[in-house]
Structure 1
Amino acid sequence: MATIHDTQVAPQDVEAFGNRLLEMMTGASLAMMISIGHRTGLFDVLAGESPLTSYQTADKAGLNERYVREWLGAMVTGRVIDYDSETQTYQLPDAHAALLTRAATPENMAATMQWFAVLGQVEDRIVDCFHNGGGVHYSHYSRFHEVMAEESAQTVVAALHDHILPLVPDLGDRLQEGIDVMDVGCGAGRALNLLAETFPSSRFVGVDFSEEAIEMGRQLARDRGLTNTEFIVRDAAQLGETVRFDLITAFDAIHDQIDPAAVLAGIRQALRRDGVFLMQDIAASSHLHENLESPIAPLLYTISCMHCMSVSLANDGAGLGTCWGEELAQEMLRDAGFGEIALHHLDHDIMNTYYVARQG
């Protein structure tokens, strides 16, 4: 085996990779601190403010000053927040606030940083899977539905009317008139409840195997006084519906399924003859070499290994993973009976591809 002392190994290559590893460590550290800044509301407090001391920042946020000061140290050295050493004050640049605050939704990248802590909590279980196979059940991921709902609020809910629904011609008009809609893998139901609130003449059914997520959806519907929604705990591979729905949606849900082929076949069976399946799933190729230039490919494979693939394998599922890819997705849609498939990419959502599928 070659070592750094062998002539076969160029010292500059070792040094360059060492620097890359240091950058990875720094990036991972900042991701954790940015997640905390999001959860504590610190970025929201600092946005648009004149320079503040650590005490002023902590007071405005209602937080412990010592922890706030240490967090600010990470943000300053990470070039996220500006610091004036003479006045010992801190300021969040407007250009950074545009990507780190709740007001920046759907551009708020701080919300996405929460995934690293969510995934990190199951590292020991994933290591065991490397040795023994199997997977990690959803129940071991605390805060999963909370973080997923927040992510969905950015990529789906905030873009539904202006970007996603227009992918299907005349869909808005049909929803106004009244149609039957199902959301498969609805999670906490934010998207479905927004549609139900916007289109009271249509009828909406949300399906998810998670009782926790379904109850969140039901509670949100109750809070909004909605009477045109129904949330059902059900395995998506056993929809058991025939020619009932005009529109079926699945937002970032199919690649996690235990039996995705059965899910897609069930969706096709549940659609009326002129019905539409609108699917959002990860923007990637089925071929590893085609993903080399994607700036988010390492993130996608990591999320897959730590969650998406694993939760499927935990139930002896297909374990497609996030990067099942557009090629395989289209093949599986065709196998399920969809003859007309169109792919769309939206500027606000670099992580996903949007599929509009009909029986054809």
Structure 2
Amino acid sequence: MNVAIDQTEDFDQTKAENFAERLGEMLNTGATVVMISLGHKLKIFDHLADMPPSGSEQIAEKTGLSERYIREWLAVMVVSGIVAYNPEDKTYYLCAEYAACLTTDAELGNMAVFAQHTSLLGQMEESMIRCFKTGEGTSYGDYPCFHQIMAEDSGQTVVAGLFEHILPLVPGIQARLEQGIDVLDAGCGRGAALLAMAEHYPNSRFVGYDLCADAIDFANAQVKERKLTNIRFEQRDLTGYMEAERWDFITSFDAVHDQKDPQDLIDGLKMSLKSGGTYLMQDIGGSAKLENNLDFPFSALLYAVSCAHCTPVSIGQGGKGLGTMWGWETAETMLLRAGFRSVEHHRLEHDPMNVWFVSQV
């Protein structure tokens, strides 16, 4: 039976109209973000940043892409206020200030990298409908280009600040790495951070474990290309992992929250550290409490990625599905429960999204 909604004087017409306007802005922005992802993948922003005001034909020639599609893409960028347009000579221009957020090695970080997550969410819609209806999960292989996106993300959030900001969080670790120690990256993905350390510290020995064969294949190809002899990567399910007192230093970068059993993994990693060893864990720095995340950077995007990826990937492994926003409090509790002698968490001034835990055996 249909029940009519009683629209009394309590109904705020202005509030409804303002919300409708806001929804319209969201639709516009969502479409723009997908086009930003496309521009990133095709390197259009990089080419525009190096060009003076130019016509669509010149831009197409510079990028090696179809002029008709370039012109339509440029129209999105113009009406979104990203690319300037001169109607008199029909030229387009990307100013340096905007390029500083949209290009490779951008001064303020390449925000277009994160736009790829929005594009990926759309591709996963049918899969998510199935998950909502059945309560089932997914696997890493269901996500096209996932490891490529995460490697780009890691390049900005981890590798770029690894030696200047991140490793200094661990007292004395850089000197020990220079002397030579055994290092594990648990959940290494394509291994960008570990490869950087292996090149920087030739006296140390590095191993990366990850569940996904495609990521490991990519990482091992990089080892050969860079001719490194102090590092190897291995496909490995870390469920129930423990190699007693093998490692001096273990890292995990944005990898723990979507594991089948994060507590079990942390317990095993702790037992795998030698006496005096350290576990450095990076994860999303949001709170376990929804009300604390209302102003957290990119909170809506992070919850959406959690809904479409991190939660179902964990459930697909038989896990609890803690999700991307499992909360720094949850992570800290698990580290303390594992029995580390000390657990400290840090936030970096230039990186408001992540939290860094330094746990000592």
Post-superposition shift, 1:48? 4.0
**Is 1:108 the equivalent of 2:118?**
no
Equivalent in the alignment of 1:288 = 290
Aligned equivalents of 1:295 and 1:189: distance in 2? 26
1:107-126 equivalences under 5 Å are 107-126=109-128
Aligned equivalents of 2:108 and 2:207: distance in 1? 25
Q: Is the 8 A contact 1:106 1:154 kept in 2?
A: no
Equivalent in the alignment of 1:134 = 136
Post-superposition shift, 1:237? 2.2
Aligned equivalents of 1:2 and 1:178: distance in 2? 73
Equivalent in the alignment of 2:168 = 166
Q: Tell me whether 341-350 or 26-35 shows the greater mean CA deviation.
A: 341-350
Q: Is the 8 A contact 1:4 1:14 kept in 2?
A: no
Equivalent in the alignment of 1:156 = 158
Report the secondary structure of 1:125's partner residue. helix
Equivalent in the alignment of 2:46 = 44
Q: Is the 8 A contact 2:33 2:118 kept in 1?
A: yes
Post-superposition shift, 1:190? 1.1
Equivalent in the alignment of 2:59 = 57
Report the secondary structure of 1:206's partner residue. strand
Q: Tell me whether 237-246 or 134-143 shows the greater mean CA deviation.
A: 237-246
Q: Tell me whether 52-61 or 3-12 shows the greater mean CA deviation.
A: 3-12
Aligned equivalents of 1:289 and 1:117: distance in 2? 27
CA-atom RMSD in angstroms: 1.4
Post-superposition shift, 1:2? 7.8
Aligned equivalents of 2:297 and 2:108: distance in 1? 19
Aligned equivalents of 2:105 and 2:143: distance in 1? 27
1:1-360 equivalences under 5 Å are 5-104=7-106, 107-359=109-361
- What runs of 5+ residues in structure 2 fail to find an aligned partner? none
Report the secondary structure of 1:250's partner residue. strand
Q: Is the 8 A contact 2:297 2:352 kept in 1?
A: no
Q: Is the 8 A contact 1:30 1:75 kept in 2?
A: yes
Aligned equivalents of 1:98 and 1:146: distance in 2? 22
Q: Tell me whether 150-159 or 66-75 shows the greater mean CA deviation.
A: 150-159
Give the structure-2-normalised TM-score.
0.97
Aligned equivalents of 2:165 and 2:108: distance in 1? 12
AA matched with 2:76: A
AA matched with 2:63: A
Q: Is the 8 A contact 1:155 1:349 kept in 2?
A: yes
Aligned equivalents of 2:59 and 2:67: distance in 1? 8
Post-superposition shift, 1:295? 3.7
Report the secondary structure of 1:299's partner residue. helix
Give the structure-1-normalised TM-score.
0.97
Aligned equivalents of 1:69 and 1:283: distance in 2? 40
Q: Tell me whether 116-125 or 202-211 shows the greater mean CA deviation.
A: 116-125
Q: Is the 8 A contact 1:208 1:214 kept in 2?
A: yes
Aligned equivalents of 1:310 and 1:210: distance in 2? 16
Post-superposition shift, 1:180? 0.7
Per-residue CA deviations over 1:139-175 (Å, capped at 9, x if unaligned) read 1111111111111111111111111111112211111
Per-residue CA deviations over 1:15-35 (Å, capped at 9, x if unaligned) read 111111111111111100101
Aligned equivalents of 1:299 and 1:347: distance in 2? 21
AA matched with 1:42: I
Report the secondary structure of 1:142's partner residue. coil
Aligned equivalents of 1:198 and 1:310: distance in 2? 36
User: Residues 321 and 105 of structure 1: is their aligned pair in 2 closer, same or farther, counting only changes over 3 Å?
Assistant: farther
Q: Tell me whether 66-75 or 130-139 shows the greater mean CA deviation.
A: 130-139
Report the secondary structure of 1:285's partner residue. coil
Per-residue CA deviations over 1:239-288 (Å, capped at 9, x if unaligned) read 33111111100000000100111100011001111111101100100111
Aligned equivalents of 2:251 and 2:82: distance in 1? 38
Post-superposition shift, 1:137? 1.3
Aligned equivalents of 2:293 and 2:26: distance in 1? 20
Aligned equivalents of 1:95 and 1:259: distance in 2? 44
Q: Is the 8 A contact 1:48 1:94 kept in 2?
A: no
Aligned equivalents of 2:238 and 2:182: distance in 1? 17
Report the secondary structure of 1:238's partner residue. coil
Q: Is the 8 A contact 2:100 2:108 kept in 1?
A: no
Post-superposition shift, 1:99? 0.2
AA matched with 1:169: P
Q: Is the 8 A contact 1:100 1:109 kept in 2?
A: yes
Aligned equivalents of 2:6 and 2:131: distance in 1? 33
Aligned equivalents of 1:208 and 1:59: distance in 2? 41
Q: Tell me whether 154-163 or 72-81 shows the greater mean CA deviation.
A: 154-163
Q: Is the 8 A contact 2:289 2:327 kept in 1?
A: yes
Calculate percent identity across the aligned residue pairs.
45
Post-superposition shift, 1:8? 2.0
